[in-house]
Amino acid sequence: MNFNKTQKQNINNLNAANTTQTPIGAPNWNALGRVNVIKRWAEEIKAATSNSSSLQDWKVIGTAVTIIHNDVNDCQQIIARVAQDISFEFLHIASKDVETFLTATDEMTDKPHATLIYLEPGDWMKDQEDSSNSNIHTSLQSKIKNFNTDAPVIFVTSTAIYTDISSDLRKAGMFDRRFIVLKPTLEESAVGFIQMIGEDICSDAFKDSLGKIGKLLDLEFDDKRRQELIALTLKRIAKREARKIEFGDLVYLSTRGSAESDEYPKLSIEFDKKIAVHEAGHALVAMIDSQGQNVPEYVSILEAENFCGIVTDSMGYHFNKHKSKTYSDIRHHIRICLAGRVAEHIVYGPENVSVSSASDDLRKATELCFYLFSSRGISPEMDAFQGACSNLTVELEDDKPFDKKRTELLAREYLAKQYQIVFDMINENKSLYEKLVEELMKKSVLDQSDLLKIVNPFQVN
């Protein structure tokens, strides 16, 4: 795509600073995720170019397309790969420069050539009253309509939500073809993450835990930016400690993030004991209520910036439950949330429970109750037929405000009932519970293998 002298001057600096004109080093298709539909589109373009296709043929192929994806960097790489395959020039226009680019480039002159232009998503694509957006849309529509089959210029943009694009751009003849980039499977995410770290510094056990790694990434680090930061932190750990990365390292970072800090000094044995009492309650109920399926990955009474102790569920348990959670699974997590407060109640008496240590747990339990009772049609009495069909209405976004007071009443009654069940659960497994507290006081941190050794002599059912 060539410009006349004035146009070249207008956009020269813009191109240098904010666009990529060649797709040299574009990633392999295998590294781009589930994008076979886009790969096929590239093949259609290549065939159309080779066969001197008609304007109608090009319109069927799509001369302005949208990628449904929330990662701009990923989209840029995908389009760069397309450009490389079809031997088109590639331009990446930053969102802030879309208006300048479109209004500075009128009709192409001299000897135009095939170009693939990625317009980074932004406010320019939305319905707005101001004249600037109107000018952008008019200019863009004109360029798409004036498609030249001898020197095809194809526009691509991306968005997480298709309706964010103005309706005057998402119609036949405009951005009328769209591709959805599906999220990778958990195992695929894990493979990509291991490649970020470097396979050579990952232990065999770590590389064999794809499902667990993928689920932990899904829960805690679900975007590439954060994954790259965590991968770099793991590389630093491997170098500093001259060892290979284990799954426990990733679990540890999931509790504290990638920031490095000193450990807080120990306050007192009494303080540690109260934290151990609380966290052991969470860990015990996780194991007992799941019949041994949810053996936590990590239990700690080490103080951090945002907590005094923490329990991390089994990622294998979460992986097996992925996208198929039942009422009993949500109830299980409500019980785990309540278990720290209940454990303090049992050991210290109700008047001596901490007023702050369980506040986040109780907030999570409350949120789960509202999720069940207001938006999922679940009843607090699901174990009885009449109960199972007594709360089947759900909150509708376009309806009048839902009966919050009723839901709150259901939640209060339900949490009180579950509190009693957790109370009995801990009391019935008192020996195992006390052993967990004892080991936490000795080691401060227990991983899944430690917990399995502790649980083994006891009957868990």
pLDDT of residue 19: 44
247 lies in the same domain as 112 = no
Query: Which of 180, 198, 231 is the C-terminal boundary of a domain?
Result: 180
For residues 316 and 280, membership in a common domain is answered with yes
My answer on whether 303 and 378 are in the same domain is yes
Q: Do 123 and 252 fall within a single domain? A: no
User: For 208-223, what is each residue's pLDDT tens digit?
Assistant: 999 999 999 999 998 8
Cα–Cα distance for residue pair 69/79, rounded to 1 Å: 12
The verdict on 149 and 217 lying in the same domain is no
Pairwise CA distance, residues 194 & 187, whole Å? 11
CB 94 within 8 A of CB 120: yes
At 232, the pLDDT band (50, 70, 90 cuts) reads: very high
Distance CA 63, CA 171 (A): 12
What per-residue confidence (pLDDT) applies to 127? 83
Q: What is the DSSP string of 349-393?
A: -GGGS-SSTTHHHHHHHHHHHHHHHHHS---TTTTSHHHHTS---
Angle CA(85)–CA(91)–CA(93) in degrees, nearest 5?
140
Q: Would 92 be classed as within a structural domain?
A: yes
Counted residue by residue, the chain has a size of 461
Q: How many domains are contained in the chain?
A: 3
Per the prediction, the chain carries an average pLDDT of 87
Is residue 83 a contact partner of residue 152, using CB atoms and an 8 Å limit? no
What amino acid occupies position 235?
K
User: What's the CA gap between 171 and 160, in Å, rounded?
Assistant: 18
**Domain end point (choices 226, 256, 286):** 256
Q: Helices 404-428 and 359-375, interaxial angle, to 10°?
A: 120
| CATH number of domain containing 9 | 3.40.50.300
Domain membership of residue 352 as a residue range: 269-455
| 342 three-class SS | helix
Query: What was the pLDDT predicted at 306?
Result: 74
The verdict on 230 and 314 lying in the same domain is no
Grade residue 106 by pLDDT with cuts at 50, 70 and 90: low
Q: What is the β-pairing status of strands 445-447 and 310-312? A: unpaired
CA 170 to chain centre: 27
Gap between the Cα atoms of 351 and 21, Å rounded? 69
Rounded CA separation 236/229 (Å):
11
- The pLDDT confidence band at residue 308, using thresholds 50, 70 and 90, is confident
pLDDT over 70 (residue 3):
no
Whether the per-residue pLDDT at 133 is higher than 80: the answer is no
Distance CA 71, CA 286 (A): 35
Range from 133-137, 234-238, 408-412 carrying the lowest mean pLDDT: 133-137
> Same structural domain for residues 215 and 345?
no
Q: Is residue 461 part of a domain?
A: no
pLDDT at 459 over 70: no
Query: Exposed, middle or buried, 103 (CB in 10 Å: 0-12/13-18/19+)?
Result: middle
**Exposure of 24 by Cβ count < 10 A (0-12 exposed, 13-18 middle, 19+ buried)?**
exposed
In a domain, 391, yes or no: yes
Can you tell me the distance from the alpha carbon of 397 to that of 51, in angstroms, rounded to the nearest whole number?
51
Quick one: 298 and 324 in the same domain? yes
The verdict on residue 314 lying in a domain is yes
Does 173 map to a domain? yes
- Both 25 and 136 in one domain: the answer is yes
Contact by Cβ (8 Å): 370, 407: yes
Structural domain includes residue 263: no
Residue 325 counted as domain residue: yes
Q: Which of 137, 163, 180 delimits the end of a domain?
A: 180
Whether residue 262 lies inside any domain: the answer is no
Same domain, 246 and 363: no
Backbone φ and ψ for 202, nearest 5 degrees, come out as -105, 135
Do 230 and 312 have their domain in common?
no
Contact 374, 395 (CB under 8 A): yes
pLDDT in tens, 36-70: 999 999 999 999 999 989 999 999 999 999 999 98
pLDDT digits 0-9 by tens, 172-222: 999 999 999 988 889 989 998 999 999 999 999 999 999 999 999 999 998
CB neighbour burial string for 437-452, b if at least 16 within 10 angstroms, e if fewer: bebbbeebbbbbebbe
**CA 221 vs CA 171, 216, 355: distances in Å:** 36, 7, 31
Could you tell me the CATH number of the domain that includes residue 397?
1.20.58.760
Question: Do 280 and 249 fall into the same domain?
Answer: no
What's the mean pLDDT in 330-355? Answer: 95
What is the spatial distance between Cα 344 and Cα 78, in angstroms, rounded to a whole number?
Answer: 53
Separation CA 20–CA 118 (nearest Å): 10
